[in-house]
Amino acid sequence: MKTSNLLENLPKQFFASLVLKVNEAIKNGHDVINLGQGNPDQPTPDHIIKALQKSVENPLTHKYSPFRGMSTLKNAVAEFYKREYEVSLDPEEEVAILFGGKAGLVELPLCLCNEGDTILVPDPGYPDYLSGISLSKTKPYTMPLIEQNNFLPDYQLIPQEVLDASKILFINYPNNPTGAVATTEFFSETVQLAKSNDITVCHDFAYGAFGFDGQKPLSYLQTPGAKDYGIEIYTLSKTYNMAGWRIGFAVGNKEVISAINLLQDHLYVSIFPAIQEAAAVALTESQESVKELLSLYEERRNVLISGCHEIGWEVKAPAGSFFAWLKVPVGFTSQEFADLLLEKAHIAVAPGNGFGEYGEGFVRVGLLTDIDRLKEAITRLKKLEIFLNI
C-alpha cells in the first residue's frame, strides 16, 4: 500500500535517529549517559497524581468531555496567568485546551494559512515547527539565532517581500535549544513587527517556568498589544513533569483561539476529563514543586558548566530552559563531535545541526539526569583529552 504524498513529504524525525544510535550503544553493552533527550526525569508531583486518582473514581469522568475542554481547566488557566504574569484572560474565548503543546504548534498553520504562505521560524529551533509547515503546504523562512545577538532573531534582516508573504511567526523563549531568554524590548519589537505586517505571533512558552539566577522568564502576553497579534502556547509537560499526560493550552487572541477550537472539533473529542481536572489542580494549588524543580535544574546547570570549565571546555551557561547549548571544539562538526562522545565516552548529546543550519557548531545537552551522572560525564570528557590545548 502506498501512503499519501502528504505523509511522504513529512520531515524526518531528528530525534528518532538519535534514539536509534543510543539504543544501539546500550545494546552493545555500554553504560550510556543520555544527555540528548528532552524528557523530564522527575516524577509528577504527588498532589497532582492524587487529584487524578480521585477524579478517575468518579464515573462522570469516564464520559465524553466538552469538545472545547472543561470550564474547570480553562478557569484554572486564567487564574494561573493572572497569578504568574498579571495577564487577564477570558477563559471561554481566550483559552484553548491542547493535547500537549506540540499539538497546538503543529495545528496552527492548518488553522491560519493557505498553501504557499510563508511562516517565519527560528534557526536553530524546535524541529516540529516544520511538521505543521509541511502538513499545511506552507513555506518556512528561517531566522538565524546567533550568539552575537543573544540568540534572538534580528527582524531587520527579514526582507519586506518575505514579511508581506508571512502569516505566522514562531518564537520560543526560554529557548530550545539555546537556553536563551527574551527581553521586554524584544517582545515589544515582536508586537510592532506583527502589527506592521499583519502577522500572527505564536510564542512557544514550553520552558516558561525555568529562568535561572533569579530571573523569571517573561510571558509574551505581558507585552502591551500582544494579545491583539498572537497567542502563547504553554505545556504542563515541563513545569509539572507531566510530559506523558499530554496536556497543554493556547492563550491569547480570540480569533486564533476560535480557529484552533474549530479545527480540534473535527479532530478530537477533547481530553480525558480526569487529566483535565488534575491539570487544574496543578495550575492552581501549591507551586512548591515548581520552585524545587527550578532549583534542581539550576544546580545541575552549575555542576555541568563548572565541570566543563575545569577541564578546559569554555562554554556559556544557559539563562533558562533545561538545556545547555555548548560550542563544539575547533576541528569538529556538530555531528562528528556528538558521534565521538557516544563512541568514545558513551555520552549522548544532540548535535546542533539537527535543529537547523545555524545550529552547526553546537551540541545540546539536557539537564535531565542526576548530578552524579553529570559529574561522571565530565570525568569521561576529561579522559578524551581533547580540551587540553583549548
Q: 12 lies in a domain? A: yes
What is the per-residue pLDDT for 15?
76
Task: Say whether both 77 and 105 belong to one domain.
Answer: yes
Q: What is the mean pLDDT of the chain?
A: 96
> What CATH number is attached to the domain comprising 9?
3.90.1150.10
pLDDT of 5 higher than 60? yes
Q: What is the mean pLDDT of residues 34-43?
A: 93
Cα-Cα-Cα-Cα dihedral sign, residues 82, 257, 136, 275: positive
Q: 390 lies in a domain? A: no
pLDDT of 246 higher than 70? yes
| Listed residue (269, 279, 321, 223) closest to 77, CA to CA | 279
What is the per-residue pLDDT for 18?
82
pLDDT in tens, 99-142: 999 999 999 999 999 999 999 999 999 999 999 999 999 999 99
What is the per-residue pLDDT for 223?
98
Task: Say whether both 236 and 332 belong to one domain.
Answer: no
Structural domain range at position 314: 5-44+288-384
Task: Say whether both 363 and 237 belong to one domain.
Answer: no
Positions of E strands within the chain: 33-34, 95-98, 118-123, 139-144, 166-172, 200-204, 230-235, 248-252, 323-327, 347-348, 350-351, 362-366
Domain end (from 267, 284, 301) = 284
Task: Say whether both 243 and 360 belong to one domain.
Answer: no
Number of domains in the chain: 2
Task: Say whether both 340 and 275 belong to one domain.
Answer: no
Task: Say whether both 34 and 174 belong to one domain.
Answer: no
pLDDT in tens, 70-82: 999 999 999 999 9
Domain end (from 233, 256, 284) = 284
Q: 378 lies in a domain? A: yes
Q: 92 lies in a domain? A: yes
Assess contact for 338 and 17: CB atoms under 8 A. Answer: no
pLDDT of 379 higher than 80? yes
Task: Say whether both 22 and 129 belong to one domain.
Answer: no
Task: Say whether both 18 and 86 belong to one domain.
Answer: no
What is the per-residue pLDDT for 12?
82
Q: 138 lies in a domain? A: yes
Cα-Cα-Cα-Cα torsion 356, 171, 256, 158, nearest 10 degrees, comes to: -80
Q: 389 lies in a domain? A: no
pLDDT in tens, 190-206: 999 999 999 999 999 99
Provide CB contacts within 8 A for 251, sequence distance 6+: 77, 81, 87, 89, 94, 95, 96, 221, 231, 232, 234, 257
What burial letters (b/e) apply to 153-183, b meaning 16+ CB within 10 Å? bebeebeeeebebbbbbbbbbbbbbbbbbbe
Task: Say whether both 243 and 313 belong to one domain.
Answer: no
Task: Say whether both 157 and 236 belong to one domain.
Answer: yes
Domain end (from 253, 284, 315) = 284
Share of the chain above pLDDT 70, in %: 99
* Pairing state between β 139-144 and 350-351: unpaired
What is the per-residue pLDDT for 389?
55
What burial letters (b/e) apply to 255-278, b meaning 16+ CB within 10 Å? ebbebbbebbeeeeebbbbbbbbb
> What CATH number is attached to the domain comprising 165?
3.40.640.10
What is the per-residue pLDDT for 123?
98
pLDDT in tens, 142-167: 999 999 999 999 999 999 999 999 99
What is the per-residue pLDDT for 118?
98
Task: Say whether both 217 and 263 belong to one domain.
Answer: yes
Task: Say whether both 23 and 132 belong to one domain.
Answer: no
